[in-house]
Each structure stands twice: as structure tokens, then as C-alpha cells.
Chains A and B, each alone.
Chain A
């Protein structure tokens, strides 16, 4: 059937099962929005306050559902406003398809109004990107983009559509997702990359070798990385840890890959890792990392990292092997499949001594109770006590993010939405919106700091309009706490541009301005009352928690230092 490129685009989104889009219209994408108008009953479009908010919302939607998120923006500034969101998704391997439009072909390259080379700009921060210059290429490109975004190691894909391609007409035939692989460029790609339609399997010899290594290990340690969360392999990972009887640490991205309540978990590893995790890494003789790239926040000093251990890396992305830390063995495959097969191969081990050694180090950090302000642990514990256990938590970046990860017990993959790799301040509110749209039945809590919240608090407008009762908890220490902490510990307390005392806005008044409500709290009782009110009120709610300006994230190991060389405990 002949139809316009814009209509083909929407039809292709429906083929992919897309029912939610986050975006912002504009001049070049106007035809797509015109078409969207006809599909109101099938596709729910969430209009954000800013394209960056839309990009984080699509990302949060993808992370919390495991589906591909979709984000629309227009050319020029619309497209460049996405870039932080694209990079955030890229560094955390989140499957999002970003669709931008560009000026028509006859205006390309003429520095036309709102023209920008977004495929050039986004090249290093996307898994793959495409430019569509005619309606005839629309269906094939959209199908490829979705397949690429969610396959292998997931990641963002950008499609830049020239305006003439949205108006031009082409033949379109509705195809099911299975049929996509036998048509167009996907057919060629799949022939090359997917072993001619056979779902690839991990190499048996590699699995056997690991089974042998496991047998002889006396002090094994597991690291649960983002790959476990992306593969939704919690069950398999926990079974593997139990069979191995090995302590298991998690990375920021691996939160929820093993339940925070699991008896074998040692908590976070790395710069702000628990003493148990970091001491285990320094003393283990076999370290098995699943879906973890040993970033500089985990393997702070790659040369000394787990130097007594044979390191085994299980990853879907071959390029991660030996990238940051040299390994003794690797297995390429989907975390869930590899662990499933491993669990069949290995016998139950027992490592009582080793566990005793690891778990005599603390997993949790103690914080002083002063009474004047709240301490981070009090805030986290109170939240955890009041809100439902399955609530989704979205964070921004900084001290509050680490406190959240250290103190909340995440029970399932996709429960924590945080920018681990790119460290994007301002990610949280957008992500919370995406998660709440995807899971209206769940409580969504947005944990932020006073610095991060100022960055993208404009999305409160989106929260208000779409009646998304998100609870925002601000850890308000009147400072850019994480940077201040570094200045305190390593730069002679030169608090250069990190003090925010006396800065507007009053977050409760801000909430009111957006038609929401809020409360300032400085005691556990006030926080409890505010949380209960927030849960009951049915709309967005901001809780501004006063904490001490000098509060630090502890423990801390400085970047580049051995993992057991704690700067503060």
C-alpha cells in the first residue's frame, strides 16, 4: 500500500509493539506529529518540557521494562538536546531508538534553519545510526534500528529522517517481527551476525574450562554487573552464587541483579564499595565478573585489581574482554544463558572459611545521628520502611546516588534506574517519568540532590500534567556534595564553587508552583509523615530533606588506588 514516510514510520513503530513515545515536536518533524495525531488511540505520546527530559524518560522506560524506549525530537537544537540522553543510554547499554527529523534534502548542507549533522554528532555515542532520505527506505531502516538496539549488547540507535522523506510516498507492507529478518538489510545483517538464524550458544569448551577453574578455587568472588540486569538473569545469578557458595559483590549497574537481601551479597564494589566487597576483591583467588567492564570506578587501579586472582569475564560483548583488566579466561554469551549452562555443570561447593573472612568486614556504613539534621542512612531506611518493597527508584548523580545504592536493598533487575556510566546529573526525574508511565501500578521514587534536582526540575511540569504521582526526595546538603567531598579529602578543603547555601528555589514552593505539594523535613518523624502524605495524595510530591553539609559517602577509595586502600571508612 502506498503511504507517506511519516505514516510508514508510525506503522513500523506499531510493528515493534511501541505504545509509548516521549518527545517534543518542531518544524522538521511536524509531518510525523501530524500522523501521530491520527494514531492517538494506539500510541501515547508524552510531551516533556525539554528534549533532554524526553531522552531520559525513554531511557527510564527502557531500563524499567526491558523493552526498547522511543524518543522523538526535531532537527537542530531539538536533536542536540538529546545528546546527553543518548550518551547516558550508550554508557549504560540501554536500548532506546531516538528519532530526529532534519531539513529536507534540498536544504541539507546549506546551514539551513535548525540544520545540524546529528548523525555525525551522535556517531560515537550510538550503537549505530542512520539517515533516511526517502520514504522508500523508512521501513527497512526502522526495522533494522529496533533489531540493533535490543540485540547483543543493547544500546541506543538514532534515525535521522529528512523532512522530504516524511512527506514522500512509498510502498509499505505490514510485516511481523519474525518476517523482518527475512527482508531488506536485516536479512543480510542476520546472515552475517546471527549465524544464519541459529541463536548463538556459548562455547562448550569455554564453559568446561570455567567449571574446572571453579573446582579448584578456594576463595571465589562473583561480581554482578549491568549485564546481569540487562539479561534479567537474577535467578540464574543467585543460583550460581549459591552453588559456588561464593560472596557476590555488585556494581552500580548490577544493582538488582542479585537481591540486596541475599545472604551471599557483599554489597557495592569499587570506589564507594563496602569493605567486605573490596577486601574480597583484594584477597580472592578466582574472580568471576558477569556483564561487567571493570570501569575505573570498579577496578580503580587495573594493575593491582584482584592481583591474587584468576579473573574470568563473562560478557556478551567480545570487545570488553581484556579492555580494562587482563583476564585469564572469558566466556562470550548472554549472561542468563551462560549462567544457566554453568549451573548445570558445576557441583555444590562450600567455602565457609572464605565467607567468614569476607563477611567479618562490614557491608554497611554507620552514620552518626545528630538530631539536628537527618543522616543519609536515616533517610534511606525510613523510605524503605514506608514505601512498598517493589517501588522503582530513580536517582540522579552524586552522593545521594551512592547512599541509595549502599542502603536500599534492590530486589529485582530494573528496580534501580541510575546513570552509572555517564554520571548524568539531571537523569533522575526524566527516568522516573519514563518508569511511572510504564508502571502506573508501582510507586516510583525519585531520589536526588539539591544540585542535580536544579538541573532538570522543569520536568515537574510533565509530572503534573500527566498526573504522575512521583515522590521526589531531595538530599539537601546545600552543596555539590560529591565534588565537595573530594575537595575536603584531597584538595585542602578549597570548596571552589561547590557551596549552594542561600540559592533559590525553595523546593516546596517550587512544587506548589507546578501544582504539586511538598514538605521540608529534618527529623525521621517528619520524613515518615511526609512520605505517608506523598503516598496518599495522588500527585507528585517533593520532600526536601535537610542533611549536614559535611556528610560524606563512606567508605571511599581514591581513583587509581588499590581497591583495599581506603581513604575513609
Chain B
């Protein structure tokens, strides 16, 4: 048995309606639950980048990449490797803070985590924290004691370290493009 762990897939796609559902549909069809999903346009407004995290083994992650590459709106897919990727997620946490002691304590914690307080009211504080799941979970656990009123995550986004990019022309990419050949 191969090890089951979180795999990050970065998918570069055409930016038009229906593409996201095509991509996500593939995961349910092949029996995978999406653990995290983040979508946004890239430096070109015509292309979007989808970052998807799934829990599976290595060979299934590879098969999923292959199926994704077959879709016509998909330009390229990168299966990011654990020690060669940078992953970040933004979490907004609204915490109960009714006294000045509590507000002070939370303020100190946010400083230590290099998070920021982005909204203050007499009854609550809203904190923005950016990090990987370790850091974000630690922050969340600490704040849980004060009473979390609401929490939202953007979903993980990731890039490869160094100069390599998702657009690299590899032999494998050429092979997939052959299958799409529209000549």
C-alpha cells in the first residue's frame, strides 16, 4: 500500500464559465473528495489557476493529473512535490473579545503569529492569518479558547520553489498535447 497523504495539484485553465465545474466534476467522478480548492485568474485574464488538494496515494494523484490534462480547457497540470512547494492559505477568524484583557491577550498572540487584526468591535476581533495548515491550525486552536464566532479559509494556494513554473515544456506535456492534436 502506498502512503495516503495530501497532494497539491495546480491546474492552469481557460477562464470561461463551466471550466471549474468540468475540473471539479472529474474528482467526484473518479471518487475523490476535494480537501481544499482555490481559484483565481493569473497574470493573464484569459487563464485561471486552480489549486486543488486531495487525500490519496501517489499513483492515484498521477492518474488524476492525466485525466485533468485531457480536458480541452486545461493548459497544464503540475503535481507539486511536498518539499519543493510553498503553500499558503488565508484564514479569517472572528473571535469573541468582550473585555480589554481578552483583546490585549489576542493582540499579543496575533503579533507572535505575524497575523493581523483587520476588524475591531466592542464584542469581537477579526484576525487574518496567512500560512500553511500547521501555522493556521495552531492559531485557530489558540483562539478557540476565546470562542470563535465565525471562520473562513480561502483554500490553499501553492507555487513551486525556484525558477521552474507550471508552463514548462516537458516531454510528458508534449505527449498530452499530442492527444489533443486538433490539426
Contact = CB atoms under 8 A, between A and B. Distances in A.
B150 to A, nearest CB: 30
A128 B74 CA distance: 11
B165 interface: no
B183 to A, nearest CB: 5
Contact of A193 (B29, B63, B177): B177
Interface stretch (B17-25, B32-40, B136-144): B17-25
Contact of A151 (B70, B176, B181): B181
A186 B72 CA distance: 11
A188 to B, nearest CB: 9
A163 interface: no
Interface in A110-167: 119-120, 123-124, 127-128, 131, 147-148, 151-153
Nearest to B59: A322
Interface stretch (A280-288, A313-321, A371-379, A434-442): A313-321
A501 interface: no
A318 B183 contact: no
Interface in B143-183: 171-172, 174-183
A159 to B, nearest CB: 13
A203 B25 contact: no
B78 to A, nearest CB: 16
A330 to B, nearest CB: 8
B69 to A, nearest CB: 7
A189 interface: yes
A192 interface: yes
A316 B18 contact: no
Given A127-B72, A190-B183, A199-B183, A332 B178 contact: yes
Given A120-B21, A193-B177, A195-B174, A147 B69 contact: no
Contacts of A319: 66-67, 69-70, 176, 179
| Residue from the set A119, A120, A124, A200 with the largest chain B CB neighbour count within 10 Å | A200
Interface string A60-97: 00000000000000000000000000000000000000
Given A189-B72, A192-B177, A194-B177, A151 B183 contact: yes
Contacts of A323: 63, 66
- Counting contact residues on chain B (CB < 8 A from A), the size range is 20 to 34
A455 to B, nearest CB: 26
A319 B75 CA distance: 15
Contacts of A147: 182
Interface residues of A, number: 33
A493 B162 CA distance: 65
Contacts of A151: 180-183
A98 interface: no
Contacts, number: 81
A230 to B, nearest CB: 13
A193 B73 CA distance: 11
Contact of B21 (A123, A186, A199, A322): A123
Contacts of B183: 151, 181, 190, 194, 197, 199
Given A193-B177, A332-B175, A332-B179, A317 B70 contact: yes
A318 B67 CA distance: 9
A57 B127 CA distance: 62
Interface in A312-340: 316-319, 321-323, 332-333
Contacts of A131: 18
A193 B182 contact: yes
A437 B169 CA distance: 45
Contact of B179 (A120, A189, A316): A316
Nearest to A129: B18
Interface string B69-85: 11110010000000000
Contacts of A190: 182-183
B175 A148 contact: no
| Residue from the set B69, B71, B174, B175 with the largest chain A CB neighbour count within 10 Å | B175
Contacts of B176: 318-319
User: What 3 A-B pairs are tightest by C-beta distance, nearest first?
Assistant: A193-B180, A319-B66, A332-B175
12 contacts: A123-B25, A148-B72, A151-B180, A151-B182, A152-B181, A192-B180, A194-B177, A197-B183, A199-B183, A318-B66, A319-B67, A323-B66
